[in-house]
Amino acid sequence: MAAGGGSGRALRAGAPGGLRAGAPGGLRADSGRTPGGRSGRTPGGRSGARPRLRRAGRGGGSAAAMAAIKNRRTALERVEKFLSDTYFTDCNLRGRLFGARCPPASLSCFQSPRRIPYQEAVAQEFVPAQVGESFGPTWETCWFKVELSIPPAWEGREVHFVWESDGEGMVWRDAQPVQGLTKEGEKTSYILTRSLKESEPHSLTLYVELACNGLFGAGKGSMIAPPDPDRRVTLSKAELVVFNRDVYELLVDLEILLDMAQLLGEENQRSFQALYTANQMVNVCDVTDPSTFPAARDLAAGIFSQRNGESQHTVHAMGHCHIDSAWLWPYEETIRKCARSWVTVVHLMEHNPELTFACSQAQQFQWVRSCYPGLYARIQHFVAKGQFIPVGGTWVEMDGNLPSGESMVRQFLQGQRFFQEQFGRICSEFWLPDTFGYSAQLPQLMRGSGIQRFLTQKLSWNLVNSFPHHTFFWEGIDGSQVLTHFPPGDSYGMQGRVAEMLKTVKNNKDKGRVNHSAFLFGFGDGGGGPTQKMLDRMKRMRDTDGLPRVQISTPDQLFSVLEKESSQLCTWVGELFLELHNGTYTTQAQIKKGNRECERILHDVEVLSSLAVARDTAFQYPASQLQQLWRLLLLNQFHDVLPGSCIQLVVEDALQYYTEIRRAGAQLQEEAVQSLCRDLLQPQACSTCSSLVLNTLSWERTEVIASPGPDGAETLALVTVPSMGYALVQEPFVPPQPVAVRKEEDGSITMENGVIAVCLDTMGRLTSLQLLDSGRESVPDGCYANQFALFDDVPLYWDAWDVMDYHLQTRKPVTTLLKPLEITLAGGLRGSVSFSLQVGKSSTLTQEIILDAMCPYLRFVTQVEWKEAHKFLKVEFPVQVRSTNATYEIQFGHLQRPTHWNTSWDWAHFEVWAHKWLDLSEHGFGVALLNDCKYGASAHGNVLSLSLLRAPKSPDATADIGHHEFTYAVMPHRGSFQEAGVIQQAYNLNFPLHVVPASRAQCPAWSAFSVSSPAIVLEAVKQAEDRPEAVVVRLYEAHGSTVTAWLQTPLPVKEAMLCDLLERPLAQDPLPLEQQGLRLSFTPFRVLSVLLVWSH
């Protein structure tokens, strides 16, 4: 912009790009009418043809209009200054927006460290307060009692209560919330009356609930900095004002015309028409005489009423308010953000019946339902009218990468059931605009949950490659497809401006294929939502030549028309990988660990409880407790919590929720085991006779277990436990080859168990890892596996979110030994060694490396005292394998990513995510890395790397500082990872066998479920949502193959049928129950849910 806020360079005669006499494309003097409709000469006339000058009439008088001024810059700046809230407000139009003002009759306040309900707040003792005072500190709440007295002289006028502060406010009237007030969300007034009548009460009392935090929390110095605990918010304005609606309407007209003039460009006829019309409106308008305003508005209407051609793009505008369920503020504050935002939307709907509002996250609806029942009833009314539109179908807008497959199923199950119960319908579109990437399994999970449409925009944040589409079909790893749309404006927080409309059209990457797109308007992230001004802008752009058509629409209307236009759309196959925020796979390791652990706990509780019900009808399945625990887990999977991109207060809440799931889960598991195995269990008083071992996975397992012996010492035993069942530990089971551990003269130690043999140096690094049956070496000559490396980790801005590619250039191997390698278990059923390293300046790492009898992998049980800042710790395994692709486990399957950086798309995958394992294989041989709570990983060339810990300082200055425990394992194998059982071994690492004292020495092993094919994983067994006499078993094909498998069970099943992920039957006819069990057919990565009805 030029000095003084102008629109750019001056246009002077003869200047390049300027309008000069006779210039090609210039506007000729004889080209017709001026924009105002009056006859007259246009600028750029022929050289020497002087326009006739007349004095511009004030207020639209009879004098003919002077020709529009030639200098584009001065005309633009003239209109800008006429609208400015900074310059010339004593004589411009903006300065007339408000008329008379009046302070409150009384202003008093009460401050609380807690967020308290209205009834409790108004009963407190209020003390006098004044405008200009500051309140705080951060996260406290001030309640203000505002007594108002409207002057009688204001009859017939529109009266607003204006409130401006640095905090987030809510107006309460007659014990109900009525309006959110947030300066950052352009909501600073509450309309008391649109035309004051003598019969209306002129005195009234309002309460304002003020949160001592802003729309984006309370960051100290920058938005994402840790919150300033001592920040105070200032009340800068609290008054009654007369609002001049006619001035407001004229301001909006001029704002749209000014934007058209500036943005359509000098080569565009409409740009000049808009500019000259705006200039003429300024001429016509006398700001001291409202009677001149209609003539000015008529000039604007002349422009707005000129229509588009039939081929113009249609923008489908929908109100939206993205509210992060927690981010730079805690969960509790989000509840109030929902109320502040949604009450404002409902209020807008009452005066704008055309307004639609798309709203996601069942959890947020549930919060408002519990805490604001009056508001919730109003929302239900507008949902029924089709204006307030629930979308998304999930419990929260979860992270799209890290939750397990079953967790993602439960996001849809809990969300869709909530929407069905509360509003009588499920959502038809998945809505996830702000998540950091999207798993390639999501299309199948959407379709299984009644959804075939998907909206997001986050890939517009890609740092390296521009995603090639805005509207396309997205195909998952199983072949499922969903129609996907990215709003081409690349935002979910539009404000209804001309620039945004033009960007939506210009930026659309699927021009010629589709001619419709979404436009989500409303302040978001911290809440806020749509405003009246946004709606009023778009009303003027409904069908105005030069701009796209704008219609207030719904997600269903948009996707319905896109479906009709879809024949030319392209298809994107595989994951939607966000080329940014890859640090979120590692940040806040305790949250990641809590998520993985609690997913396991709920899986095991459901399996054991379902089996208990099947064996004993007296046992009550803990359905309500499990729903509550699942909802806590799902809430923590929100896309700023599980990724770790949240403030310390949120981390503390999340860890507390995990503690609650662990505590309640352990109790529920104990109750299920007591019921399932009652006859076998140890009475408390009796001395231990034997141990009962339970397996919650769907294959037989032979493993070394540890159980307390009679003297309290831990004893080891090798046990074989059937699939989804139990077995008693019998007489000691001797392995075919015990573990041998041997210390060499150079201080290195070798361990072998008949399956693998390893050699470790004094720093715990693998110098050799052999597969004994083939003699194949896994570690290349001269390389070290289990090598820790520390990297500098300073991103460009998004500290907790991003790790940049350049961090790889700062690699420093960790080589400072604190305690050299020593033998801790000498062999037999288990051999182990341990060592300690110093990491960085002040951190320590201690590791126990364990090899069990008959186990195909080597375990690394790791403890770290982490005290670093802006460092990234990884562990690396260079392997003697050559492949251009590595394989990574994702939800219900796996996918391949390149191990090279040939293209920018490959290079952008320098840090990726995986679940329980990753594998690098060539034909006949490979090496897998398994883990129990990590997600960040990479495979470049022949080096497999697991990301362990980060140390960002924003938005949580304490992120990851402290004690960490985690386990990973390395597994060399013959053949493919599928044939070698890598998938099953990774499950085994994550789902330990359960050992409980038993009172009987003899008991036949018992298996509840087994599957005939190793390609099929039985992932979940749970009670059906609406049928206590039935269970749902969920299975998936894990190898990427087409296979038929038999599901076998000794349990009393009378009927079986396939159902979708919402547990709705997929066919009329049940599946045949055969001697061999249930015959199920799978294609690659297909997820099947089967409803089994018990016969008792």
Q: How far apart are CA 898 and CA 938, in angstroms?
A: 10
For the chain, state the CA radius of gyration.
34
Give the count of beta carbons closer than 10 Å to the beta carbon of residue 265.
10
End-to-end CA distance of the chain: 79
Name every residue whose Cβ is closer than 8 Å to that of residue 912 and which is 6 or more positions away in sequence. 577, 582, 585, 888, 897, 936, 937, 938
Q: How far apart are CA 126 and CA 387, in angstroms?
A: 39
Q: How far apart are CA 1060 and CA 43, in angstroms?
A: 68
| Side chain identity at residue 753, one-letter code | N
With beta carbons less than 8 A apart as the criterion, state whether 143 and 207 touch.
yes
Which residue intervals of 264-330 are DSSP H helices?
A: 269-284, 293-304
With beta carbons less than 8 A apart as the criterion, state whether 211 and 336 touch.
yes
Phi, psi of 389 (to 5 degrees): -110, 110
User: b or e along 706-723 (b: 16 or more beta carbons within 10 Å of the residue's beta carbon)?
Assistant: ebeeeeeeeebbbbebbb
Q: Distances from the Cα of 284 to the Cαs of 67, 261, 273, 277, 304, in angstroms?
A: 14, 19, 16, 10, 18
DSSP 8-state symbol, 218? T
With beta carbons less than 8 A apart as the criterion, state whether 807 and 792 touch.
yes
Specify the DSSP element, H or E, that contains 551.
strand 549-552
Tell me which residue of 480, 474, 424, 419 sits closest to 448, measured CA to CA.
480
Angle, vertex CA 435, rays to CA 430 and CA 438, nearest 5 = 70
Give the count of beta carbons closer than 10 Å to the beta carbon of residue 637.
28
Among 434, 525, 802, 932, the one annotated catalytic: 434
With beta carbons less than 8 A apart as the criterion, state whether 531 and 341 touch.
no
Q: Distances from the Cα of 788 to the Cαs of 713, 763, 881, in angstroms?
A: 33, 10, 20
Task: Report the relative pairing of strands 471-475 and 571-573 from DSSP bridges.
Answer: parallel
Q: How far apart are CA 72 and CA 67, in angstroms?
A: 13
Give the count of beta carbons closer than 10 Å to the beta carbon of residue 146.
23
Give the count of beta carbons closer than 10 Å to the beta carbon of residue 782.
7
Q: Distances from the Cα of 624 to the Cαs of 394, 603, 920, in angstroms?
A: 19, 15, 43
E strand map for 61-105: 98-102
Q: How far apart are CA 458 and CA 576, in angstroms?
A: 10
Q: How far apart are CA 973 and CA 1073, in angstroms?
A: 38
Tell me which residue of 662, 668, 674, 677 sits closest to 725, measured CA to CA.
677
Q: Dig out the tokens for 726 from the structure.
A: 């139990």
- Is residue 434 part of the annotated active site? The answer reads yes
Q: How far apart are CA 547 and CA 536, in angstroms?
A: 16
Phi, psi of 935 (to 5 degrees): -130, -30
The string of DSSP codes covering 628-666 is HHHHHHHHHTBTTTTTS-S-HHHHHHHHHHHHHHHHHHH
Q: How far apart are CA 445 and CA 480, in angstroms?
A: 9
Q: Which residues are catalytic?
A: 434
